[in-house]
Chains A and B, each alone.
Chain A
Amino acid sequence: MEMFLSSLFSLMSPGPFLLVLIASAVGIVLGAIPGLSGGLGVALMLPVTFGMDPHLGLAMLISIWVGGVSGAMVGSILLGIPGSPSAIATCFDGYPMTKNGQAVKALGAAITASFMGTFFSILIATFLSPVIADLALKLGPWEYFSLGFCAIALVAALSRENVFKGLAAAAIGLLLSSVGFAPIDGFPRFAFGNYYLNGGFDLISLMLGLFAIKQIVTDYARGQKELPPVDMRNITGFGVSLKEYLENAVNLVRSFLIGLWIGFLPGMGAALSNMVAYAQAKSSSKHPEKFGKGCVDGVFASEISNNASVGGSLIPMVALGIPGDGTTAILLGGLMIHGIQPGPLLFTNNPDIVFTLFATAIFAAILVLLQQYFGMRLFPMILKIPYHYLYPVIIVLGFVGVYVSSSTTFNFVLLLAFAALGFLMDMVKLPTSPFILSFILGPMLELNMRKGFTYTDQGIWPFFTRPISALLLASAVLSIVWPYIKDYLRKHHGSKVNR
């Protein structure tokens, strides 16, 4: 607690304060603009942290992320176009409210719900993560391998269209993560004599290729659409009464818990939680017919749940070293680049880093609340920033970013190659989340897998005979095959009924 408070107070000195303020504002802008996101901002700013103190660098990345998740509601409410998938459900009632002349009320509800979601989820993460990390210290390499494998399988199983596409993307990530020196024996693999590949593929080039360069090519190829004008007259206050908050108390608590839990599960971040929370709010409401026509309950549900996923996804990232979603995967990569190993030992080896992370998230949530409240009038201007001013900056930051990470122009080749890979994956509808997760977790998986083999004389068997490991592997297999079993059972049951 003492360390948490000391981290929080250190953020109030002028330098860190200004950094968190600017970074969270950048996050809001990136989150608000359709097609961009806080995740993109985190990827772009990752190379900037190389020359910074790790605490400050991490504070900057976390602030962009918090601002990005919160800012995504701006486009949803004012234009009916979500800034990112985390605010899709906010469109359902937020935009009708704007059309009904209640833009301020919708924005007010979204801003306060976003704050509550981030603030309380981070508080819970601060107290829960050390407990989970303590438990995780009792796990051996078998359980760690199975945990990582289960996380990848869960993400693959969630692939929208086809579980095999998710699995294929994960397998490509695993294969690419094996390029370079192998763990334990340091044997070089798949480098084909290329000196630059001996250390494996550069993580920054992969992130910026997949998140920034590919996105720009795709958006430019599809053509940027002019966003419609926004009427924002008579903006004062939050527009939501205390009575409305109290009437939504159950809705807020339920949606918060949904967001926290979904954020905690690997691969299921804010993009899913807002939809689930919205559906639950509608089905439990006394007036479900009002949903979709401008009901503030829907905005509350969506916005508190997507922001609660922030704290939820930080718990496995910090305590177990398993990222909850794409953005936490980048953050995890950022920690590793600074020589910090996420996982249960983080609390013993770098407690200052852990508490900086939590303290910044809380501090950024407060600053985002204030910036959004006082800057509400500027929201339409954010949505008017032309893409021809945004994209060239992102391109330059992408190219310079991959160069400064290792001072080699070979990274330009990797940047373009990963952008091409991402483009191809989009084209054939292979999901990128399992790919990134496998690429980042690959070295940890391999190390624990090989340790697991060598720690006993029983070879592969402890992976299946140790209870937790067996349970995790069974969950991984079940998550992959369950849709097919369900289909079979439905058909079988259906045919019996027909007979």
Chain B
Amino acid sequence: MNDKRLGFIILALGIAGILLTMQIPVKTFTDDPGPRVFPYLGSIILVISGLGLILTRQKSTEDTEHFLTREGWKRAGIMTLLFIIYSLALKIVGFYIATPVMVFFFYRQIAGPEKTVLLRGIIYSLVTFGAVYFVFSKVLNSFLPPGMIF
């Protein structure tokens, strides 16, 4: 994405910020400018930045198409999907089931088929799960996600 296109997006965000801020009911007393003033400040800076990006001539920069290759985008998508699955698993089945299973999948995915060793992966998953459980639950007395169905 070039800077001009980014400038238009930032400008639009700034305008959206101003419009949203206008909807905050004004409740002020004495000389207090109220809860609107700070979001206005942020939005105005966004508008100025957007205009700045649109109007100034910048040195040509590396195009963001090179940010990731096609294969890279695919890998980013897979990792994001695994994160979403882990989030849902923590919420639904809880830490005790989700973590050892997902640690293994993360290990397998990052290692790739050539470097994956099944037994080593299973042991690694259980050790990671046990260590995190011990530190958070036993040493720090923190609550871990219990899950909805257990």
A residues with a Cβ closer than 8 A to B are 48, 50-52, 161-165, 167-168, 170-172, 174-175, 178, 182, 184-185, 187, 189-190, 213, 216-218, 220-224, 386-389, 391-393, 395-397, 399-400, 403-404, 407, 409, 412-413, 415-416, 419-420, 423, 426-429, 442, 445-446, 449-450, 453-454, 456-457, 459, 484
Contacts and interface: CB of A to CB of B under 8 A. Distances in A.
Interface string B79-116: 11001101100110001000100010011011110010
Given A171-B45, A454-B30, A48 B68 contact: no
24 contacts: A51-B142, A164-B50, A165-B6, A171-B45, A178-B42, A185-B27, A187-B27, A187-B35, A217-B76, A217-B79, A218-B76, A221-B68, A221-B72, A221-B73, A391-B106, A395-B103, A400-B95, A403-B143, A403-B144, A412-B87, A416-B84, A429-B61, A445-B38, A450-B37
Given A221-B72, A404-B144, A395 B56 contact: no
The A interface is mostly helix, strand or loop, or mixed, namely: helix
Contacts of A187: 24-25, 27, 34-35
B79 A164 contact: no
B52 A164 contact: yes
Contacts of B61: 161, 429
A167 B76 contact: no
A470 B122 CA distance: 62
B140 interface: yes
Interface residues of B, number: 75
A442 B141 CA distance: 32
B140 A52 contact: yes
Contacts of A393: 128, 132
Contacts of A412: 87, 90-91
Interface in B46-74: 46, 48-50, 52-53, 56, 58, 61, 64, 67-68, 72-73
Contacts of A220: 75-76, 79, 109-110
B52 A167 contact: yes
Contact of B90 (A391, A409, A442, A484): A409
